Structure 1
């Protein structure tokens, strides 16, 4: 092998790319990792981590604002976005430095620059070119991630922004319209409302967070009404007009909303253009890279991971994809990553956490008579009462079979999704979970209480 020949050449250093690189290095493979910007990708620098830092600052603002409820005399004097950004950027910088250290210690060759797949090889793999330099891989992993989408005719400029620009704002807008009521939209709605902004959400689907179980959508909508976050569902965006003083958002049907800022939060698209994929014979489905259940493309020795592959757009899905592909290349024959078994968390207030099938999905798959459901209201959970949160835990099971879905909403319930993932992935039955002793008083008890209901022996709930 020449110095520029590797067992794996990875195009993209985000969640899927760097996890593939680290695992492949552990397995003794020679790895080149190509990244045009910073290691860590969208999640670390303009997605998961910075948005959750903002959400924590928002939680602190709410805690101060509501402190008298708990007998603590405090007042909220305002939100200093420069200081908030300093906190946020500090978290990102520390994690970035740690990641750089991990990659360096693993002996991975990091190449800075924009890569392009210029050829594929008959025996497998291909050649990626960066600034005129060729990097030959016996295997190539495509891991270039995603970008913030917009809508046709809606230019991102001036007072119209995506999450990329929203994360760098130095002032809290007074009035915001958010186009899109899924994960990104409801998280920013939660942040800005906690910071004191007037927020209006516009969602084309019939409910907020439309991919979640309907019970969670309804609970979130009730919570947002209490927080005075306005929203319109089943309503389509029609147009926008900007001026020096503000922006007017037009909706189908003739209504309009005036604001100071518009956040476009209509999802993310795969970053696949300009990479030489189609020219190299890699099959595409629109802009998604087509793969089989082992993340292999139609070209031998070329794989795709993370947001390039149609499905859930989650950093931990990217991690799982990256580890899977490294082990697949190393000949370990790992178990495929199944989207339905991946936990999901939306970090608005209240938090939404889920894994597995929703109730409608389960009824469609197994039939109405073959599905049982239990809901445990957090009103009976001591820790949730202390935290002053409303919500519930919902379990969906196949009748006389395992639990196939766990759906939770309430303050901090995202931290409970680990057990939920074990329950679904290990195909636990209600009696299995009910037999596990859950510490009191914790919100974790709510999972046990819901299982007790399905097992036919409810404790802190009516039969």
Structure 2
């Protein structure tokens, strides 16, 4: 059968390029199609540049309290353009490496806008310009785009996170609309860079998917640093006039220099030929898939943010690698049967200060019979070292266990706890019991001891905490 490729992938973000790399490893001929740069949103407009800005904010926060450690340091202003150049340098380095890696695997990159076309007997295809590239299988991985709530985004005064990462001067005042991951990260970043921030969230707490207690700790810590948090508040409109934005809320108006709309992202499933090719789309814009990420069109699969579930770059990687292995198996290139990771086993992190990291079930989701232990980081030596003298440590490590059984949830809040959540993912993903891992020796002093302490408490032998 005359086909151009074994696999054609529409979208070169986390899911798409991971799928391409793994498929090429398995011997498939691969086309990777995207009019944007390799790496997609995560590398260019999301994960990487955002965390670079957050690192700059952490440096400024550290300098501000240097004297408490006995170190003389002078806190000056923030040159946003220079921070942006630092972030761009990180992105450029990673993009160069990814481009070289894609090239070394023999993957055909087609830098054009693609549209899915139905199977004509030679397999489904992706049309670019006037040419259709037929393949044995197609993976759609076009990601997601910011939700704007119909507000008048102008990219200068009213913007999404895409534009906010490109600013060359910091505002004096900013309103952040949305108390999810993106909104919280920008609020934390900007207040640490010296911006007066108002954070507005329509629900009754920040980070609704996380443990309620950890959300409260985060809110208190942000408020201490000057963030004006308004929960249970809806924005009804916004108007930019000159150098000011007037944000309308239920009980009045807020004047600000900049409004960031950060209420989430919508699957980028429109305008790429999906419905015309017979693919079912949910009312939310997500592509409907089965338990193997197969769409309703034969030979067409979807991955990453197009599929309902947590919008995480590493979930995209996992989907992409899984599909590469599945398609290789279906095409007789591999004998192994891959397993699709469960969403509940995939860790999530909010890189604010403090950080919030979790994997698995919350205490409420685990049910009334679950065993829950909280280890407060006030008893952890490394956590105390990271705090300036006189600062109260508010971090917590929570482990959730089925009654007498396996660990089903690990939930952390505190400085740098993102580095611990991979251990949590191992515990939850491998369905370990506290007794299984009680003998693992953690280095001292380290934040990882907090997981060990909570685990010991679940086995009835708490060491550095009251039982």
Shared topology, TM-score over 0.5? yes
Instruction: State how far apart, in whole Å, the 2-side matches of 1:461 and 1:292 are.
Output: 46
Aligned to 2:356: 352
| TM-score, structure 1 as length reference | 0.96
Aligned to 2:130: 132
Q: Is 1:456 the equivalent of 2:460?
A: yes
Aligned to 2:61: 62
Give the direction of change, closer, same or farther, for the CA distance of 1:154–1:396 in structure 2 (3 Å limit): farther
Give the direction of change, closer, same or farther, for the CA distance of 1:158–1:84 in structure 2 (3 Å limit): closer
Contact 1:270 1:308 in 2 (8 A): yes
Aligned to 2:272: 275
Aligned to 2:169: 171
SS of residue in 1 equivalent to 2:229: strand
Aligned to 1:308: 306
Instruction: State how far apart, in whole Å, the 2-side matches of 1:135 and 1:386 are.
Output: 57
Aligned to 2:421: 417
Contact 2:380 2:447 in 1 (8 A): yes
Instruction: State how far apart, in whole Å, the 1-side matches of 2:267 and 2:217 are.
Output: 31
Instruction: State how far apart, in whole Å, the 1-side matches of 2:401 and 2:373 are.
Output: 9
Aligned to 1:85: 84
Give the direction of change, closer, same or farther, for the CA distance of 1:156–1:397 in structure 2 (3 Å limit): farther
Q: Is 1:227 the equivalent of 2:225?
A: yes
Correspondence 1:229-308 to 2 at 5 A: 229-252=227-250, 254-286=251-283, 287-308=285-306
Q: Deviations 1:317-359 (Å, cap 9, x if unpaired)?
A: 0000000000001113211221111000100000111000011
Shift of 1:228: 1.5
Aligned to 2:5: 6
1:435 to 433, 439, 443: 439
Count of residue pairs the alignment pairs up: 455
SS of residue in 1 equivalent to 2:322: helix
Shift of 1:154: 4.3
SS of residue in 2 equivalent to 1:141: strand
Instruction: State how far apart, in whole Å, the 1-side matches of 2:73 and 2:465 are.
Output: 36
Instruction: State how far apart, in whole Å, the 2-side matches of 1:447 and 1:348 are.
Output: 21
Shift of 1:157: 4.5
Aligned to 2:205: 207
Please, which moves more after superposition, 427-436 or 39-48? 427-436
Contact 2:155 2:163 in 1 (8 A): no
Aligned to 1:32: 31
Shift of 1:179: 0.5
Instruction: State how far apart, in whole Å, the 2-side matches of 1:311 and 1:174 are.
Output: 36
Please, which moves more after superposition, 381-390 or 419-428? 381-390
SS of residue in 2 equivalent to 1:295: coil
Contact 2:152 2:239 in 1 (8 A): no
SS of residue in 2 equivalent to 1:279: helix
| TM-score, structure 2 as length reference | 0.95
Shift of 1:122: 5.1
Aligned to 2:332: none
Q: Deviations 1:358-403 (Å, cap 9, x if unpaired)?
A: 111111xxxx1x2110000000000000001531000111000111
Aligned to 1:378: 377
Shift of 1:233: 1.0
Report the aligned-residue RMSD: 1.2
Unaligned runs of 5+ in 2: 330-335, 388-392
Contact 2:54 2:352 in 1 (8 A): yes
